[in-house]
A = this chain, B = another copy of it.
Amino acid sequence: MPRSVFFVSDSTGITIENLGRALLAQFGDTGFHHQTYVFIDSPAKVDTVIAAIDYAAERDGERPLVFSTQADPALRRRLAGCRGLLLDPFDAFTGLLAEELGKEPQSRRGHLHGIFDRNRYDSRMAAVEFTLRHDDGALPGRYSEAELILVGPSRTGKTPTSLYLAIQYGIRVANYPLLDEELESLRLPPALLACRDRLYGLVVDPERLQEIRSARRPGDRDYASPARCRHEVEAAIALFRRNAIPWLNATSMSVEEIAAHIISDLGLHR
Contact = CB atoms under 8 A, between A and B. Distances in A.
Given A26-B94, A100-B85, A256 B12 contact: yes
Interface stretch (A111-119, A184-192, A222-230, A235-243): A111-119
A21 B89 contact: no
Nearest to A21: B112
Interface in A117-153: 121, 125, 128-129, 132, 135
Contact of A12 (B28, B65, B260): B260
B27 A97 contact: yes
Interface of A: 3, 11-15, 17-19, 21-28, 36, 38-39, 63, 65, 69, 71, 85, 87, 89-90, 92-94, 96-98, 100-101, 103, 105-108, 110-116, 121, 125, 128-129, 132, 135, 157, 159-160, 163-164, 167-168, 252-257, 259-261, 263-264, 270
A110 B39 contact: no
A27 B254 contact: no
A26 B85 contact: no
B101 A27 contact: yes
Given A92-B89, A93-B23, A96-B85, A18 B128 contact: no
A189 to B, nearest CB: 24
Contact of A110 (B25, B105, B163, B261): B25
Contact of A115 (B94, B108, B254): B254
Contact of A100 (B63, B94, B125, B260): B63
Copies in the complex: 2
B26 A71 contact: yes
13 contacts: A19-B19, A19-B89, A21-B112, A23-B110, A26-B71, A26-B90, A26-B97, A28-B103, A36-B270, A65-B97, A125-B157, A160-B167, A163-B167
B106 A26 contact: yes
Contacts of A25: 108, 110-112, 116
Given A85-B100, A159-B128, A167-B160, A113 B254 contact: yes
Q: Closest 8 interchain pairs by CB?
A: A113-B256, A12-B260, A26-B105, A22-B110, A15-B18, A92-B92, A12-B256, A21-B112
Given A11-B257, A15-B18, A132-B132, 4 more contacts: A26-B97, A38-B260, A38-B264, A125-B160
A158 to B, nearest CB: 12
